[in-house]
Amino acid sequence: MSPNYILKRLMMIVYTLFVVSLIVFAITQVLPADAAVMMLGENATDEALNALRQSMGLDAPIWAQYGHWLGSLLQGDFGTSLRTGQPVGPIMFEALGRSLLLAVLSIGLMLVLAIPLGIIAAIRRGKVADMVVSLVSYAGVSLPEFVTATLAVLFFADLMKWLPPTGYVPLTENFVDGIRYLVLPVCVISIILIAHVSRMVRSELVDVLHTDYIRAARMKGLSGGTVLRRHALRNALLPTITIVALDVGYLLGGVIVVEEIFAIPGIGRQLIVAIQARDLPAIQAGVLIMAATYSIVNFVADILYAWLDKRIQYD
Amino acid sequence: MIEFLKRLLRTPQGAIGVTLVALVLVAVVLGPTLAPHDPEALSPLARYKGPSTAFWLGTDQYGRDIFSRLLIGARATVTMAVFATIVGTLIGAIVGTASAFMGGRADEFIMRTIDAVMSIPSLLFALLIVNLLGSSTINALVAVAIAFAPGMARITRSVALAVRKQDYVNAAIARGEGSSYIVMREMLPNVIAPIVVEMTIRVSFAVMLFATLSFLGLGAQPPAAEWGLMVSEARRYMHLSAGILIWPSAAIAIVAVGFNLLGDGLRDALNPRT
């Protein structure tokens, strides 16, 4: 892996964020909401509105507004929320932290469950265990988060009263309670991921088990376990890195829904509130931060993949 | 064709998928005729009833018949999802095929831009577009179609790249055909099979995305019998009757499972391996 490749990938992140900033700016520009009217109310006089538009730079041509916005972004200034009057950046990054905790726990749970499930299904291909795993994974990918979340709250909180229904307690404040509030959201987010990734692991491993080098290892007299551990898994699990990284896009979408249902003050909830209130600076910042998270995760995954798979020579 | 159907029905996925999707299609086409009750008829005396001979799946918080509402709602939920997927696929297929045909710098530029667009989660993209256009069913359709287009473009391109190298495309170039003729008449027909498979699987995502949008209050509006909206409305009353929550959830899952299985079955039937 050459420094050139890393540089190229970094340039791609920059390009990605540039395109996303254009899209977000275009969408929020067309949004039928006049920021000045929003701040001053419907009954404001024309002079007051014009004065505010001038001070906010809303009377400048669109490209100049975009340039101004991008310029402040590059200096780390995400703008001021139209809803609360607070700077958007710090609020969004603080919320991102809570969402990342949710996301990392979900990915962790997914890896712990999905990989063994996929391996069992591949080894017992066509047997009962395989059928059970694929049945469960079909059900898993077919239930949207809002359905599983609602059903989980109904069963585990309302009926059995094992866990609190919704809410959020910071782990630093009360660790045990914090975890109790996180159990349901994390499980709900990871269901679709587990279903998807276990299916991918199964099909990769089935393909690898049919290759000549596995046959050779078997004929050499190695036991099934050794062949699996030393030869098959290594090659079958590599593509999983890329799949998991691409799934992060889906994960971020799931986080939005789950945070909304479980009332977790993460970036997804902030975004929904911002979208409902047409709080343009908050929407712009939230979408950009989400896209940046996704790009960085995929960058890391690509580097990791190239580093682990010695056959790949990027230039 | 008959041969193909036989091959599709021989796999368990194909057989179950075809059955489920056929059931859903019956509900979509005949739903309003089959529904035993008026889906919007309120009966305050018969609220939260369990399943009975009069109300097969019980009644909801306003005493409306859940089974009738599901049958009526099939049209809103499934038709929209299929339509949005088709529109998104068409846009994606044209962009992807064109990108593969042009190759070189243009291809690189288009693909990098598509990668960039895909860094916005599709649910978020759909939320933004619906918010921009206003909450309604048609706007949700446009949003889902646009959110699906980049992914389909990427898949189409990779299939089209393989087709691009075929002799008949080179022959068309040698004949001096125009680009649009080659893309539309020579390349597109040959990338259709894998795209149909992908599209079928995506219908299930579309159903889920639509339901999620309605659930968040940005798709269908009450008193529509859209399934996601039914789940959303049932949430406040779920401790009174679990049925009002479970039936629409099950309906969403059945449609999604059906299209998923059908897609996998089609894939196996279209390219028979091992």
Decide if A256 and B256 are in contact by the 8 Å CB cutoff.
no
Position B50 pLDDT exceeds 50: yes
Tens of pLDDT, residues B180-217 = 888 788 777 777 878 888 888 889 889 888 888 888 88
pTM of the model: 0.84
pLDDT of residue B188: 75
The label of the residue with tokens 């960085």 reads: A296
Cα–Cα distance for residue pair A205/A114, rounded to 1 Å: 13
Which chain B residues are closer than 8 Å to A275 by Cβ? 127-128, 131
Domain membership of residue B256 (yes or no) is no
Residue B79, C-beta contacts closer than 8 angstroms, at least 6 positions apart: B28
Q: How far apart are CA A163 and CA B165, in angstroms?
A: 58
Beta carbons within 8 Å of A242's beta carbon, 6+ residues apart: A301, A302, A305
Residues A159, A216 contacting (CB under 8 angstroms): no
Domain boundaries, chain A: 3-88, 96-308
User: Which of B16, B21, B119 to mutate: most A Cβ within 10 Å?
Assistant: B119
User: What is the share, in percent, of chain A residues with pLDDT greater than 90?
Assistant: 15
8 A C-beta contact, residue A299 and residue A44: no
pLDDT over 90, % of chain B = 7
Most confident of A57-61, A304-308, B21-25, B50-54: B21-25
Residues of B in contact with A144 (CB under 8 A): 208-209, 211-212, 215, 228, 252, 256
Q: What is the ipTM of this complex?
A: 0.83
CATH number, residue B221? 1.10.3720.10
The predicted structure's pLDDT at residue A104: 92
Residues paired with residue B132 on neighbouring β-strands, in sequence order: none
| Interaxial angle between packed helices B122-133 and A233-262, expressed in degrees from 0 to 180 and rounded to the nearest 10 | 30
The answer, for B257 touching chain A at a CB cutoff of 8 Å, is yes
Q: Please give the full DSSP string across chain A, using - where no structure is assigned.
A: --HHHHHHHHHHHHHHHHHHHHHHHHHHHHSS--HHHHHH-TT--HHHHHHHHHHHTTTS-HHHHHHHHHHHHHTT---B-TTT-SBHHHHHHHHHHHHHHHHHHHHHHHHHHHHHHHHHHHHTTTSHHHHHHHHHHHHHHTS-HHHHHHHHIIIIIIIS--S-SS----TTT-HHHHHHHHHHHHHHHHHHHHHHHHHHHHHHHHHHHTSHHHHHHHHTT--HHHIIIIIIHHHHHHHHHHHHHHHHHHHHHHHHHHHHHHT--SHHHHHHHHHHHT-HHHHHHHHHHHHHHHHHHHHHHHHHHHHH-TT----
Residue B242 to residue B158: CA distance in whole angstroms = 46
* Cβ–Cβ under 8 Å, residues A288 and A20: yes
Residue B255 lies in a domain: no
In Å, how far is A19's CA from the nearest CA of chain B? 6
| Residue A6, pLDDT score | 85
pLDDT greater than 70 at residue A25: yes
Contact, A127 vs A208, CB < 8 A?
A: no
Q: What are phi and psi of B38, to 5 degrees?
A: -70, 120
Highest mean pLDDT among A224-228, B31-35, B54-58, B245-249: B245-249
In this predicted model, which residue has the larger pLDDT, B85 or B29?
Answer: B85
Angle between helices B227-234 and A145-152 (to 10 degrees): 20
Structural domain boundaries, residue B156? 2-248+264-270
B15 located within any domain: yes
B254 located within any domain: no
Which CATH superfamily is A96-308 part of?
MetI-like (1.10.3720.10)
pLDDT confidence of residue B274: 38
Distance set, CA A250 to CA A59, A103, A183, A290, B170 (Å): 38, 11, 20, 11, 39
Give the three-state DSSP class for B49. Answer: coil
Nearest-CA distance from B95 to chain A in Å?
A: 17
Average pLDDT, chain B: 83
Q: How distant, in Å, are the alpha carbons of A15, A238, A245, A301, A307 from that of A304?
A: 21, 10, 11, 5, 5
Separation of alpha carbons B171 and B180, rounded Å: 15
Residue A287 neighbours by CB distance under 10 Å: 27
Beta bridge partners of B59: B65
pLDDT band, residue A100 (cuts 50/70/90) = very high
CB of B15 less than 8 A from some CB of A: no
Residue B34 C-alpha, separation from nearest chain A C-alpha, in angstroms: 26
Interface test with B, best of A150, A196, A247, A297 (most B CBs within 10 A): A150
Burial of A272 (0-12, 13-18, 19+ CB in 10 A): buried
A64-68 contacts at long range (C-beta below 8 A, 24 or more positions apart): A65/A29, A66/A22, A66/A25
Establish how many alpha carbons lie within 13 A of residue B132's alpha carbon, considering only the half-sphere containing its beta carbon: 18
Total tally of structural domains belonging to chain B: 1
Selected for mutation to probe chain B from A132, A145, A147 (highest B CB count within 10 Å) is A147
**What is A85-145 written as a DSSP string?**
-SBHHHHHHHHHHHHHHHHHHHHHHHHHHHHHHHHHHHHTTTSHHHHHHHHHHHHHHTS-H
Q: Are B120 and A291 in contact (CB under 8 A)?
A: yes
Q: Which residues of chain B lie closer than 8 angstroms to A271, CB-CB?
A: 124, 127
Q: Report the residue from A31, A150, A253 with minimal CB separation from B124.
A: A253
Is B217 within a domain? yes
Q: What is the pLDDT of residue A98?
A: 92
pLDDT of residue B272 exceeding 60, the answer is no
Phi, psi of B211 (to 5 degrees): -60, -40
Q: Is the pLDDT of residue A52 over 80?
A: no
Instruction: Give me the pLDDT at residue A64, please.
Output: 81
Q: Least CB-CB distance to B253: which of A23, A139, A253? A: A139
Q: How many residues does chain A have?
A: 315
| Identity of the residue in B115, B124, B235 whose CB atom sits nearest the CB atom of A16 | B115
What integer pLDDT is reported at residue A75 of this predicted model? 84
Answer positive or negative: Cα dihedral of A33, A36, A39, A43. Answer: negative
Name every chain A residue with its beta carbon within 8 A of the beta carbon of B247: none
How does pLDDT run across B219-267, given as a tens digit for each residue?
Answer: 777 777 788 888 888 887 777 777 778 888 888 888 999 998 898 888 8
> Do A290 and B249 form a contact (C-beta atoms < 8 A)?
no
Q: Which residue of B has its CA nearest to A18?
A: B116
Other beta carbons within 10 angstroms of residue B174's beta carbon come to 9
pLDDT in tens, A258-277: 999 898 999 999 999 888 88
Closest chain A residue to B126 measured between Cα atoms? A253
Q: Which own/partner contact pairs does B234-241 have at CB distance under 8 Å and 24+ positions apart? A: B234/B60, B234/B61, B235/A150, B236/B61, B237/B48, B237/B60, B237/B61, B238/A150, B238/A154, B238/A158, B239/A154, B239/A158, B240/B48, B240/B61, B241/B48, B241/B50, B241/B58, B241/B60, B241/B61
pLDDT at A313 over 60: no
B124/A287 CB distance under 8 A:
yes
Tell me if residue B230 falls in helix, strand or coil. Answer: helix
